[in-house]
Amino acid sequence: MNFSSAKLFFSALVRAFLLSALVAAFLTSAGASTTQATKKDPQESIIIDSTVTLLLAPDEPQPLEAAAEDLQSDFAKVLGNKPQIVHSADAAGPVTVWIGEISKLPESLRPVGLSKPESFSISAAQGQLKSHAGRIVILAGADLRGTIYAIYQFSEEYLGVDPLYYWTDHEPPRRARIELLASLNRQFPAPVFKYRGFFINDEDLKTGAGNCLLSDASSSIRAR
């Protein structure tokens, strides 16, 4: 397995772990708090196309950068082009996806109610900063892990990327644009279970090894 294949496999494994963690974490939760208008007036929508940018602070930890790169690749699968990852509002496009922990977001863009560990939100806003007055999709978390959850939740729910694509070979349909309601405001509560685990189903690999060992042992006994 070369480096690129190993990186792809590791990224897929991370997605699978996050999927299982989210399912277990929110199994008995009350669910996401959703506030969305049902009206689909174009003036009340955010249109995401190949010109979208991903905004990430320059000093973010490596796990969050890796998740942002996964989102970049997911956008490419759907829209046909990889969006640019930028590190300042000045460099952001007319529509940008702003990723970060709430403590690192501008105060005017911080979601309300994210205080418990691993909680996160997906929301939309009109840029109110001097350096950026465009439309913003905010992927925010109460902490690092919550922010990563926000990225993969957005990718699955709004881009249609299967978290288990590496094993299912399911590719999301290609689209020219993605339409979100400007009133989008969803919050996902903290997990019910603090400690979760992920079991990799590798019995098939072990079965093969076991048969080889038994075969070698039988051959050894016959030889004696």
What CATH number should be reported for the domain holding residue 66?
3.30.379.10
Residue scoring higher pLDDT (2 or 221): 2
- pLDDT, one tens digit per residue, over 51-87 is 999 999 999 999 999 999 999 999 999 999 999 999 9
Q: Is residue 108 part of a domain?
A: yes
User: What is the total count of domains within the chain?
Assistant: 1
- Kindly state whether residue 136 falls inside one of the protein's structural domains: yes
Structural domain span for residue 92: 3-198
In a domain, 78, yes or no: yes
Which own/partner pairs from 123-126 qualify as long-range (CB within 8 Å, at least 24 positions apart)? 123/184, 123/185, 123/186, 124/46, 124/180, 124/181, 124/182, 124/183, 124/184, 124/185, 126/182
pTM, two decimals, is: 0.75
Q: Establish if 117 belongs to a structural domain.
A: yes
